[in-house]
Structure 1
């Protein structure tokens, strides 16, 4: 059940605000520089290092920080957070810079806290775990652990940063077996608003441990994660395209897959691509198929067969990876999903319903008609199920903050375009499509209030859909670990715990 803003406020008494008179950001940068004795940890504009550190996967998420702080370790972050709190200096936290929303891992006229030097990865075979610094990308993690016959429940694209991906949930190909990626965190190493360094796990700071599982950066800076390792089974993948004439059969089969979720080793991402050719729309549908075990592509598992055996007329199949690993597949995706394109994303979740999925595509195409003259305009409509096995697997690991109790289908709309002049126009397109989706899903009594943070737009309701019990837990943890709301006010971007303003 989603909470209204008023009901959360009335029940929480959590009107928090960081105190102190804010200093101009330039002075904050100077104080930070002085704190670290004028070393090389504070990077300023118009330098080559600044340009590298301030480059993002999507240019639409890039902003202009007054300076960039590059700590070497947790101690550096502790000292910096104390300074930020004392002088009310605004800042942002960047792990990999892969989120599309401006302000979530970037900042204008503030300090960008770059975690790029927190890149230690230490595999411990005796405890079946690996310590991963928050500034890593998944590529390094996979490359270190997989030669030992194990892997981690990590990102599909190995170029994605570890930190933001995990604290916002984390969708992995292993989710039906092990839950959300963050469900597989054994320990969080954290710097709090007071600059304290502590650990959150099943035995220490247990409520904070649960809060960080989907609670984003609301309680401190996570500087490192201890992750479970799991056996590395073969990963097989294929991409199958379907023409518009097969759409009804494609969606009916997709709905059955979402409804049943009978094989936890499988995962399918359903995609529709819209492009403009000679002033007219071209639409292609596709299924990206994953099977995390040995698979004969000529005789696929029953759960994948409808998409591979010709039952649905297809426009062609491509084998993406055969008997590889999560890492090799993640590296392949990183190669084909190139950075640098202007894009944005918004999301919605629904209860499984084939009729709605068909209606959504019609709405998406009709709305796009008004935008087809935007230079470089293309659009994607994607969806995948969060099934019962996924939710049960997460609960078996102790549960999380996201509040999902029943299977849903996550959908997201993602336009692409060429010019920065069209950024607002394309954000408007995504908002309009999602608003229409929400209306028809609500009318059909199939709307879920859950919004997956890593696919959410900057102005969506975000964590309000986690449900009453989860929100109360998050508020309680906030009261204990960040009573002045440093990570709600001095860290202006990103998802926030409802009821704090």
Structure 2
């Protein structure tokens, strides 16, 4: 509460200058939709709830919090009425640090926080989930039910963005991407129509929304496949010293290649470097069951200096993982996708991290800088399952294993944005440099030659070309659907994020 109060007080000057927009005024005068003005407690609280303070620094003209698809439809129709050309943003959990993707300055923000249903139908093994939930909310609502959807790994991540751009899960090796397990989208289209999209109804729209982001409408609920899960799973963290780097990377390579031997196991391996402290490797470990057997033996044989893994509820683990969401900092995030090297070429994985380390150290003088890079396995079995369930716009070759990088630079945003450009430039150096390394390793034969390496948008930077890395035929298909459901480019011209 103190932190939020301090944030609110320091933001008063900029908030006071926000002009009430036409949309805000019309919604307030003609509807009962919840609307929060600048300086109100709910406005300050909701606008604070971004992972990056750079997004919180943007001040919407008002925050609209619809509770139904019908209210979202009313907002969309209002935004279209009488020559209204205001830009707007839609926010789920506020995880993306990309400004204007889910944040806005001087125009309306649509918060989905009250579109927060979690309704399990055990008979059909489905659960309907609102985009305003965070994944810990979903896990807590289902705790003890014996079921879970395929969702986020950090509890504080929002449902909406993760589902629309792919979603990696601790359950992905068993069930595909999170988006692979959507059975139906309820979505408000650009003309205000409330539509349902599934394999049996509006199928082209359904297919395009598997990785298509916010190009087609505002999702008001997801019907998800639910899977049995024990009341307790085995999970926690391993911590390693940096001198174990080569052993850890070799183990990550082997673990990814041999996922068929342990499909219920999952890892996220991250090296964290606060530039004024000691670097360390942090590994999230998860097993869908209570006894992992020897699934993590190669990592344990390396000798972690700490091991917190234990039996616990899925909800408690997702909530505990929130420590990874460092608040009070500005973020830059970027991603890249590399094919998995052969066992004899594991040096490739060392090269990526050595380049990351060299680049991050150029930011030594940046206030509060913390650099991290995560190695996230995407095994071929996950991609096979995704294709069996209908595929997606990423359309990765299921004959290969991959590693997806998540690279983060967080720092204290000082007055006058002194460090912003320096950090943004460093992130661009990171993601362009990693791409150059990958291309070079493919050229010299150290990596398999895979012409199609899409970006994992959940970790992407706004400077990266998401749609340029989608196969041309998939991009053309998505564009055709976009033109059909949004012929006058309402979402394309008035919201942020990557546009097809």
Shorter-chain TM-score range: 0.7 to 0.9
Question: Could you say what secondary structure the match of 1:169 adopts?
Answer: coil
Find 2:473's aligned residue among 450, 458, 469.
469
Residues 337 and 405, structure 2, Cα contact 8 Å, conserved in 1: yes
**Count of aligned residue pairs for this structure pair:** 460
1:55-90 deviation per Cα after TM superposition (whole angstroms, max 9, x unaligned):
212212222111111212111111111121232221
Q: Does residue 1:290 correspond to 2:286, yes or no?
A: yes
Residues 60 and 344, structure 1, Cα contact 8 Å, conserved in 2: no
Q: Does residue 1:176 correspond to 2:180, yes or no?
A: no
Q: Does residue 1:330 correspond to 2:318, yes or no?
A: yes
Q: Provide the C-alpha distance between the structure 2 equivalents of 1:184 and 1:340, rounded to a whole number of angstroms.
A: 34
1:367 aligned partner: 359
1:247 aligned partner: 245
**Structure 2 residue ranges without an equivalent (≥5):** 1-18
352-361 vs 236-245, which deviates more? 236-245
Residues 215 and 499, structure 2, Cα contact 8 Å, conserved in 1: yes
1:441 aligned partner: 438
Question: Could you say what secondary structure the match of 1:274 adopts?
Answer: strand
Question: Could you say what secondary structure the match of 2:24 adopts?
Answer: helix
Q: Provide the C-alpha distance between the structure 2 equivalents of 1:339 and 1:248, rounded to a whole number of angstroms.
A: 31
1:203-234 deviation per Cα after TM superposition (whole angstroms, max 9, x unaligned):
10011111111111110000011111100134
1:401-421 deviation per Cα after TM superposition (whole angstroms, max 9, x unaligned):
222124321012111222343
Residues 329 and 413, structure 2, Cα contact 8 Å, conserved in 1: no
Q: Provide the C-alpha distance between the structure 1 equivalents of 2:238 and 2:155, rounded to a whole number of angstroms.
A: 22
2:333 aligned partner: 345
Shift of 1:25: 7.0
Residues 60 and 423, structure 1, Cα contact 8 Å, conserved in 2: no
1:185 aligned partner: 182
Counterparts of residues 33-112 of structure 1 (less than 5 Å): 33-36=28-31, 39=32, 41-55=34-48, 56-62=50-56, 63-86=58-81, 87-112=84-109
Q: Provide the C-alpha distance between the structure 1 equivalents of 2:139 and 2:251, rounded to a whole number of angstroms.
A: 33
Question: In 2 relative to 1, CA 235–341 (structure 1 residues): closer, same or farther, beyond 3 Å?
Answer: farther
Question: In 2 relative to 1, CA 384–475 (structure 1 residues): closer, same or farther, beyond 3 Å?
Answer: same
Counterparts of residues 271-310 of structure 1 (less than 5 Å): 271-277=270-276, 282-295=278-291, 300-301=293-294, 303-308=295-300, 310=301
Find 1:213's aligned residue among 206, 210, 213.
210
Question: In 2 relative to 1, CA 121–246 (structure 1 residues): closer, same or farther, beyond 3 Å?
Answer: closer
Q: Provide the C-alpha distance between the structure 2 equivalents of 1:385 and 1:335, rounded to a whole number of angstroms.
A: 21
1:137 aligned partner: 134
Q: TM-score, normalised by structure 1?
A: 0.87
Superposed CA RMSD: 1.9
Q: Provide the C-alpha distance between the structure 1 equivalents of 2:190 and 2:164, rounded to a whole number of angstroms.
A: 17
241-250 vs 150-159, which deviates more? 241-250
Residues 379 and 416, structure 1, Cα contact 8 Å, conserved in 2: yes
Shift of 1:316: 0.9
1:183-207 deviation per Cα after TM superposition (whole angstroms, max 9, x unaligned):
1111110110010011001110011
176-185 vs 262-271, which deviates more? 262-271
2:3 aligned partner: none
2:393 aligned partner: 401
Question: In 2 relative to 1, CA 315–456 (structure 1 residues): closer, same or farther, beyond 3 Å?
Answer: same
1:474-501 deviation per Cα after TM superposition (whole angstroms, max 9, x unaligned):
012112111111111011x11221xxxx
